[in-house]
């Protein structure tokens, strides 16, 4: 949450995160993860727009090839998603990939800063066709996943659920924000908002982006698009952890 406040407020302006990112310097690791001549403090890492060199992880064409732009039928459009729609084609909503690119890079940057600070990241998903991919992605970046039926007490009453004091996650990542095959939003979104846990969520054209800290407009049903999202999150988290190790050893 401190990182959220810094990105939103430290660099001023009414442009929010986008304005803050534009005002910050570029990455000191232009060639990827590198060792530095002196130890970078946690505060110093926030001075750079792309401290971890994540801008090169994907392009708009990568998103297009992964069918990220394909939304649901125009008749199923959630009004709150209208600003992210480029247009319609044969009755299908088409997502504006220029906006997706900006928002996805912001989300990846935030996830990297969480991982860099030893934060706990929890992947949440209930879609049967995606859960195995989500579990594997969490394992590949040595983080956590929850792909079973959600219980609201996990976040709102953890002491009762686990019988002891526990540390809640510092970030929740959702590649699909719907609850299983039901049409309602996943309850973890509401519970995370209640207890102040930041969230990153892929929001399709039939989703509500309002309670998600970093909503990323994109196709949430395609296997190929989900693979792209998960690969990006895994790469981002691992890059941040590698950079932390290098900075701590310098």
- Report percent pLDDT > 90 for the chain: 67
Say yes or no to pLDDT of 21 above 50.
no
Question: What pLDDT digit, counting tens, does each position of 91-118 carry?
Answer: 899 999 999 999 999 999 999 999 999 9
Taking the chain, what is the end-to-end CA distance rounded to the nearest angstrom?
27
The structure's pTM equals 0.84
Q: Give residue 142's Cα distance to chain centre.
A: 16
Q: Give residue 171's Cα distance to chain centre.
A: 8
- Helix, strand, or coil (residue 98): helix
Q: What pLDDT shows up at residue 30?
A: 53
Query: How many CA atoms are closer than 13 Å to the CA of 49, on its beta-carbon side?
Result: 13
Q: What pLDDT shows up at residue 23?
A: 36
Q: What pLDDT shows up at residue 4?
A: 53
Q: What is the mean pLDDT of residues 67-71?
A: 92
Element (H, E) at 148: none
Report DSSP state, residue 25.
Answer: B
What is the C-alpha separation between 77 and 54, in angstroms, rounded? 31
Highest mean pLDDT among 19-23, 26-30, 179-183: 179-183
Q: Are 229 and 214 in contact (CB under 8 A)?
A: no
Say yes or no to pLDDT of 37 above 80.
no
What is the C-alpha separation between 141 and 60, in angstroms, rounded? 24
């Amino acid at each position: 949450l401190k990182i959220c406040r810094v990105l939103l407020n430290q660099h001023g302006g009414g442009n929010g995160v986008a304005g803050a990112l534009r005002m910050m310097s570029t990455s000191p690791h232009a060639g990827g993860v590198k060792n530095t001549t002196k130890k970078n403090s946690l505060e110093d890492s926030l001075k750079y727009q792309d401290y971890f060199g994540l801008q090169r992880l994907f392009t708009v064409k990568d998103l297009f090839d992964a069918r990220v732009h394909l939304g649901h039928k125009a008749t199923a459009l959630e009004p709150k998603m209208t600003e992210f729609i480029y247009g319609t084609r044969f009755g299908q909503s088409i997502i504006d990939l220029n906006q997706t690119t900006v928002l996805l890079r912001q989300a990846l940057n935030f996830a990297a800063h969480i991982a860099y600070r030893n934060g706990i990241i929890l992947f949440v998903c209930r879609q049967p066709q995606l859960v195995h991919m989500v579990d594997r992605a969490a394992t590949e970046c040595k983080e956590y996943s929850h792909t079973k039926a959600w219980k609201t007490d996990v976040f709102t009453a953890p002491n009762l659920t686990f019988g002891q004091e526990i540390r809640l996650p510092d970030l929740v990542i959702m590649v699909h924000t719907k609850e299983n095959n039901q049409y309602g939003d996943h309850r973890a979104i509401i519970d995370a908002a209640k207890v102040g846990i930041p969230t990153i969520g892929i929001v399709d054209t039939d989703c509500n982006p309002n309670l998600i800290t970093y909503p990323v407009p994109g196709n949430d049903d395609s296997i190929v698009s989900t693979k792209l999202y998960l690969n990006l999150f895994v790469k981002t988290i691992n890059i941040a952890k590698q950079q932390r190790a290098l900075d701590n050893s310098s």
